Chains A and B, each alone.
Chain A
Amino acid sequence: MRRVNRDQLTALAVLAPSLVLLAIFVYGFIARTAYTSLTDWGRDPSQALAANPVIRYIGFANYKDLFTGFLDARFRQDLVSALFFTVFFLAGCLLIGLLLALMLDRNPRGEGFFRTVFLFPMSLSFIVTGTIWAWMLQPSGGVNRLSPLVGLPAGQFEWLTSRTSIWQFDWNRLPLVTALVVAAVLVWVAVTAYREGARTRGHVAVACAALLALWALTGGVTVKLLPYPEPHGFNLAFVGIILAAVWQMAGYTMALYLAGLRGIPEELREAARVDGASERQVYTRVIFPLLAPITLSAMIILGHISLKIFDLVFAMAGPDNTQTDVPALLMYITAFRGNQFAKGAAIGVVLLVMVAAVIVPYLASTFRREART
């Protein structure tokens, strides 16, 4: 009995330094950031860098500015950009990763070599790949010069500086759009719940969806965040950055899918074939459904990388290219160039909440799964 207690003490003693370090440096500092974001630090430039700055608590004013302030339109565009970037980056990685995995799975000759080639970009730092790609995507050289090789006119696209923005929408519509999207998701939740026979869950989801839709139709249409329309859309200057990011991470997705494909026993495919499934049906009915959990994991891991993305954009377009700005970059500029520490902290917190919304459910479910086994 004493042995057990001493063991537990030893265990606690060796765990403590790690736990304390992480608790302070991650969650302690996050709490500190959250507090800083509620102050006016940096609003008065003379106080920003003072040795003992006068810092006042001003509540959520920084957040209000970010979402509805006249001067912070750049932040709102960054949020929209981050979402578009995430969608295309995810789609590109998943699609190309799956194709590469299927390719290697069907034709395993030389698999080791090809896997290494597809994976190697992953081990490079974003700053180096960003540098290479920035060079390749120069308007007057690189990729734009590839088309003359096959007899076409040289490309004219300004990969990283294009000012064209597509799929624009008015920022004032954001609450409405959000409400409708959430309502749609809730309807989907309800449908799956009913199908699984979980009636209570279905009823709750339907009720919430109905409430949201009701609000959207009554209040949501007229709500105004800004006194004027403010269009935000997908900046085409991001296309090049998405290309580079997909190039870097597609191999990783491939590795995940390949591991998944290898985990599907051959008997399962054989059984499907014996039952008369065509080769296409073997994939759509047997293999792809079995890969769904991998797709989810990949989406979460890649999604949180793309929301946090900083280095790739920094290396490819620099911090001052407003066309390719992302929240992390704006936070860097606001806090460390503009000395607006409180507003920078607020941007950090917004980003943190977005990442946490993706990661926390995932970690919780992993935890539950691990605890069960």
Chain B
Amino acid sequence: MTTTSTSPAVRARRGFHTRRWLLTLLTYLITAVFLFPLAWMILAAFKTEAQAFATPPVVLFTPTLDNFHRAWGAYLPALTNSLVAALGSTLLAFVLGLPAAFALAVYPTRRAQGVLTWMLSTKFMPAVGVIVPLFLLFRNLHLLDTLPGLILMYTTMNLPLVVWMMHSYLTEIPAAIYEAAKVDGASVGQEFFRIALPLSMPGISATALLALIFAWNEVFFALNLTSSAAAPLSVFIGQFKTSQGLFWAQLSAAATLTVLPVLVFGWIAQRQLIRGLSFGAVK
């Protein structure tokens, strides 16, 4: 028997398929919208200045590396500063924060949660609330526009994050392991170096990536505490824009070089990024 009318179930499924197809199309459209700004910038980095300014935009062009060559000279010192500040502050934050997180995780006193929340609260405080005395202190200590000054500030900025994140990783290590080590006569130091450190390596690398990204992207302290000698990439991009506002292709090249490491790191550390930004809102 041939039916011209399809059964409700089939119709429902067909409707479902159309809807699903539409949904997929929509997803791709939104993806394009999300990628467009970055793609445009990366494209502009390979254009000549004239092409970058052309309206309507030039889509087909012979890529050139000139912008990268030209931006490179000024970019390199800023890159070095950014690298030193980000790596130095992350390392320092771990040296200070990891033992602290260990102490809070392994010897939980009743106050541990309070200490953690208090540390976390410092992360929310706006930088404008501390910048005036900070600037004056740095001026008096001759730390303005120096890398040690910047590292010190970024360490303070990342420390609560490191303690908070590492505490949650360290509490995941079963207490029985420490108990066993204690029975075998392990000292606190041995517990830390032989058990906690190796077992929390994945957590350490994830947290380190996060701290690196935050230090790499920081602008406010960098802008106020450095000017030229210790200026990291964020300041460099900001100054590039104000001083040479019309060299869009060159600026795009510099900006592309700036976001490249973050794109890679950010892709690896997606989940940590969400977690780090949310502070316990999602686990």
Contact = CB atoms under 8 A, between A and B. Distances in A.
Interface of A: 7-8, 10-12, 14-15, 17-19, 21-22, 25-27, 29-30, 32-33, 36, 100, 103-104, 106-107, 109-110, 114-129, 131-136, 140-141, 145, 148-149, 247, 251-252, 255-256, 259, 294, 297-298, 301, 304, 307-308, 310-311, 314-315, 318, 327-328, 331-332, 335-336, 341, 344-345, 347-349, 351-352, 355-356, 359-360, 363, 366-367, 370-371
A131 B266 CA distance: 19
Contacts of B121: 359-360, 363
A137 to B, nearest CB: 10
A133 to B, nearest CB: 6
Interface in B7-61: 20, 23-24, 26-27, 30-31, 34-35, 37-38, 40-41, 44, 53, 55-57
Interface stretch (B64-72, B73-81, B130-138): B130-138
Given A18-B119, A131-B251, A10 B103 contact: yes
Nearest to A373: B113
Contacts of B44: 135
17 contacts: A10-B188, A12-B103, A25-B134, A25-B156, A32-B132, A114-B27, A124-B263, A126-B219, A127-B234, A128-B259, A140-B55, A141-B53, A256-B282, A331-B128, A332-B224, A351-B129, A355-B125
A102 to B, nearest CB: 10
Given A26-B130, A107-B20, A301-B277, A126 B156 contact: no
A351 B248 CA distance: 34
B217 A132 contact: no
What does DSSP make chain A's interface, helix, strand, loop or mixed? helix
Contact of A26 (B24, B31, B122, B128): B122
A367 B103 contact: no
Given A125-B234, A128-B255, A120 B266 contact: yes
A355 B279 CA distance: 16
A127 B278 contact: no
A27 B122 contact: yes
Contacts of A33: 129-133
Contacts of A366: 117, 279-280
Contact of A310 (B30, B103, B219, B242): B219
B213 interface: yes
Given A132-B40, A332-B224, A26 B156 contact: yes
B31 A117 contact: yes
What does DSSP make chain B's interface, helix, strand, loop or mixed? helix
B85 interface: no
Interface in B225-280: 234, 237-238, 241-242, 248, 251, 255, 258-259, 262-263, 265-267, 269-270, 273-274, 277-280
B159 to A, nearest CB: 6
Given A30-B129, A252-B277, A336-B224, A141 B55 contact: yes
A297 B40 contact: no
B278 to A, nearest CB: 6
A156 to B, nearest CB: 14
A371 B130 CA distance: 30
B27 A107 contact: yes
Given A26-B122, A259-B282, A123 B134 contact: no
Interface in B102-155: 102-104, 107, 109, 113-117, 119-122, 124-135, 153, 155
Nearest to A121: B34
A125 B128 contact: no
Nearest to A140: B55
B132 A26 contact: no
A29 B188 contact: no
Contacts of A12: 103
Contacts of A307: 126
Contacts of A294: 281-282
Given A11-B103, A103-B27, A131-B241, A22 B255 contact: no
Nearest to A329: B128
Nearest to A263: B282
Contacts of A363: 117, 120-121, 124
Contacts of B34: 117-118, 120-121, 247, 251
A94 to B, nearest CB: 14
Contact of A7 (B24, B40, B115, B188): B188
Given A15-B100, A122-B273, A370-B113, 4 more contacts: A14-B103, A18-B159, A33-B131, A315-B219
Contact of A120 (B127, B267, B280): B267
B216 interface: yes
Nearest to A310: B220
A247 B23 contact: no
Nearest to B264: A123
Given A25-B130, A351-B126, A122 B156 contact: no
A68 B89 CA distance: 42
A141 B267 CA distance: 31
Contacts of B116: 370
Nearest first, the 3 A-B pairs at minimum CB distance are A123-B266, A125-B217, A11-B103
A311 B280 CA distance: 25
Given A11-B107, A318-B242, A297 B262 contact: no
A106 B96 CA distance: 44
